Structure 1
Amino acid sequence: MKVIAAYLLAVLGGNNAPSAADVKKILGCVGADAEDDRIELLLSGVKGKDVSELIAAGMEKLATVPSGGGGGAVAAAAPAGDAAPEPAAPAKKEEKVEENEESDGEGMFGLFD
């Protein structure tokens, strides 16, 4: 991943066709080891291709990867000291209580209806 990141940084910096030396220089600036075989593999794979097209193709492939479910497991895995924020309480519905106006005529005001 670091080789790909260095390559993309070079492209972002304006170098549309970074060489192995360019990638090594970027990796050296951050103290990362430059693996020649991985750099050459990357450069041979992207040679003559537009980076934005490669990224778009990768995004299409990622769209097909399932990534849902299991929301409860995340909360259970949180450390005890880091309490997850509580979900917002649903808006309280105002319940309209209908008064029973019927009366049994005995002054009970419908208490035992």
Structure 2
Amino acid sequence: MKYVAAYLLAGLSGSEPSADAVKKVLKAAGGEVDDAELDKVMTALSGKNIEEVMAEGKSKFGSVPMGAGAAPAAAGGAAAAAAPAAAAAPEPEPEEEEEEADFDLFD
């Protein structure tokens, strides 16, 4: 992932980044460079428009299950419906805790 991020940063100039430009970004951030990993990223992104690659990747996120994605929406609707009822009910007063006179933090 750091290689892709460095590639994107190096590409901010508007031209296709070179491997040397990506290495320079990684080293400036204090990272180490694995040439084999860098070569994989450079080969995968070579000749591609980075905006199109990002748009394609973003469209794939819609098919990724995110666990209980529908539950918060359903709970949010139920919470909104319950809000008027909760506002009408008086809130219980918190119980007061008894304080200990001989409390010592290090006992």
Q: Same fold (TM over 0.5)?
A: yes
Q: Deviations over 1:47-69 (max 9, x none)?
A: 11100100111111111011131
Gaps of 5+ in 1: 72-86, 95-113
User: What number of residue pairs does the alignment pair up?
Assistant: 79
Identity in percent: 37
1:29 aligns with 2:28: yes
The 1-side partners of 2:54 and 2:18 are apart by: 19
Runs ≥4 in structure 1, deviation > 4 angstroms?
none
Which residue does the alignment assign to 2:3? 3
The 2-side partners of 1:59 and 1:32 are apart by: 27
Decide whether aligned partners of structure 1 residues 15 and 34 sit closer, same or farther in structure 2, where only a CA change above 3 A counts: farther
Report the TM-score, using the length of structure 1 for normalisation: 0.60
RMSD between aligned residues: 2.6
The 2-side partners of 1:44 and 1:31 are apart by: 24
**Matched residue type, 1:8:** L
Q: Structure with the greater relative contact order (CA < 8 A, sep ≥ 6): 1 or 2?
A: 2
Which residue does the alignment assign to 2:64? 65
> What's the CA shift for 1:16?
2.3
SS of the aligned residue for 1:91 comes to helix
The 2-side partners of 1:65 and 1:4 are apart by: 20
> Superposed, which structure 2 residues align to 1:69-88 within 5 Å?
69=68
Gaps of 5+ in 2: 72-78, 89-107
Report the TM-score, using the length of structure 2 for normalisation: 0.63
